[in-house]
Amino acid sequence: MLNYSVILEDTARRRPDHTAFKFMDKSMSYAQIDAAANQVANGLVAAGVKPGDNVAVSCLSLPYFPMLVFGILKAGAVLVPLNVLLKPQEIEYHLKDCNAKAYFCFEGNEVLPMGEWGHAAFSATDSCELFYVVTADPAASPPIADTATLGSLMAGQPADFDPYPTNSDDTAIIIYTSGTTGNPKGAELTHSNVMMNTVQLRDLMHYNDDDVSILVLPLFHVFGLIVQMASGVYHGVTHILVPKFEPDPVMHLLDKENVSVFCGVPTMYWALLNTESDADLNNISKHLRVCISAGQSIPGATLEAFEKKFDTTIIEGYGMSETSPGITFNRLDMPRKIGSVGTPFWGVEVRVVDAEGSGLVQGERGEIVCRGHNVMKGYYGDPKKTAETIKDGWMHTGDVGVFDEDGYLYIVDRIKEMIIRGGENIYPTEVEAMLTEHEAISLVAVIGTPDERMGEEIKACIVLAEGASATPDEIIAWAKNRMSAQKYPRIVEITDSLPMTATGKILKKELKAKEVSSVQTAD
């Protein structure tokens, strides 16, 4: 048997009084979090939730989230974390698609009325039987008529619970993909999948007992949930909960809490690098010992500038929801290569293959495939999509990569984001990396746009650095002098911001769909 909740149970025994989570002026120890999770588990069992039932959760990064995560797992149920920005129709799709038995939803506020949206979706989903509002005040009455609260579920329940003896290959978590191509799909991750990743990520971080880890990534995402929170819980570090990433408040938390571990996506590093803050940078640099970047490639210029400003080290890794999530990582105890996502995790095989699935040699580009303990069981309720993605045991990532002579992997781009201009394959990340070397460019996203003559044309959507100025003509001319003829952008749009997901990824899908009112075109 193996129940993933053991990572909390073990730490609560070893470090019962150590602070597990801090939110604003509130702190909870590992013993308190474990006891609360036990009450959740007892409440779920009393409400009729059985082992194997799917339980959905929409909650910001608040202390209630880890209580629910481990309470659901202890009961032998399956955790289904949902993006907190989903609207009613989208929530309804997820509840129906995963056959959720119960749904916990934070009440939200006027700006983000999560409770109202969640209840509307629940009411439209006949298969979901139980709905609980997670109130900011656990003793508060339900803000929605005829509903129960998380507080009422836990009230009077014992603080002890024997975790259900799940098998290692039972599903522990269903993580939904972003749905950039078609409807989102639920990746079934087993107890073994996530446990193996958690153990390796704990070792990767080289945690110290006094580490302080700040959770700026949303916990409904596999990066925040497994890479950072779970690995930190397994070791027993202190976590600072941040419901919404905003650069200046985060800078002050880095300073006030003496944060030593930071995990984020490239746009977060960019934001922290470019924010004006009166936080004590010297104190931040004194304590911030390691940073992890994943989600998409971080431009070399951003990485080097951040490391210089904060006197710290950023290590890049690569993974996806379907791989629990780790595939490769740079390591603190091995030489790091900037621009690379490192070498494979122990027990994970990684290859670069051609369109027919044949392996390519070092230096040749192709699709990244992997197999090992990290690969999901499959997409929930979708054997066809599973068979299209996992072939002969190999998980096909949809990403283009290349190995160097030392076995370090480099991500070239997403296959689906590749631009085909006049028959030439153009990888947007290569163009983006070159453009970020322009002193006036702060943030950039390169996409393909339909073109009658070339099939697709290269377009760069650019945010200028604060106080900098540059025209589209100037940027195009600069790029033309530094890139081969087929690569430089012919279309440049200068904008104040770029659309992003809740996890900080740039939404290229929205950029492609957007009607551009003012662009500059060059021959």
352 pLDDT above the threshold of 50? yes
At residue 142, the pLDDT reads 93
At residue 463, the pLDDT reads 95
At residue 372, the pLDDT reads 98
At residue 32, the pLDDT reads 98
Q: Is 133 helix (H, G, I), strand (E, B) or coil?
A: strand
Range with the lowest mean pLDDT among 82-86, 186-190, 466-470, 518-522? Answer: 518-522
Residue pair 500/468 in contact (Cβ under 8 Å)? The answer is: no
At residue 181, the pLDDT reads 46
- Output the CA torsion 475→477→482→484 (10° steps): 110
Q: Of all residues in the chain, what percent carry a pLDDT higher than 70?
A: 97
68 pLDDT above the threshold of 60? yes
Mean pLDDT, the chain, as a whole number?
93
pLDDT band at residue 198, thresholds of 50, 70 and 90?
very high
Residue with the two structure tokens 């070399």: 300
The whole-angstrom separation of Cα 218 and Cα 505 is 12
Q: How is residue 11 written in tokens?
A: 């730490």
At residue 228, the pLDDT reads 97
pLDDT band at residue 182, thresholds of 50, 70 and 90?
low
Q: How is residue 384 written in tokens?
A: 């066809």
At residue 453, the pLDDT reads 75
At residue 180, the pLDDT reads 45
CATH 3.40.630.30 fits 6-17+27-166, yes or no: no
DSSP 517: S
Sequential DSSP letters for 429-462: HHHHHHHTTSTTEEEEEEEEEEETTTEEEEEEEE
523 pLDDT above the threshold of 70? no
Domain coordinates in residue numbering, the chain = 6-17+27-166, 418-521
Q: What is the pLDDT of residues 137-178, one digit of tens each?
A: 999 999 999 999 999 999 999 999 999 999 999 999 999 986
Mean pLDDT for the stretch of residues 340-351: 96
At residue 426, the pLDDT reads 85
Report the half-sphere exposure of 373 (CA within 13 A, side-chain side).
Answer: 15
Q: What is the pLDDT of residues 249-308, one digit of tens each?
A: 999 999 999 999 999 988 899 899 999 999 999 999 999 999 999 877 788 888 999 999
519 pLDDT above the threshold of 80? no
According to CATH, the superfamily of the domain at 418-521 is: ANL, C-terminal domain (3.30.300.30)
The whole-angstrom separation of Cα 329 and Cα 397 is 16
Mean pLDDT for the stretch of residues 78-84: 96
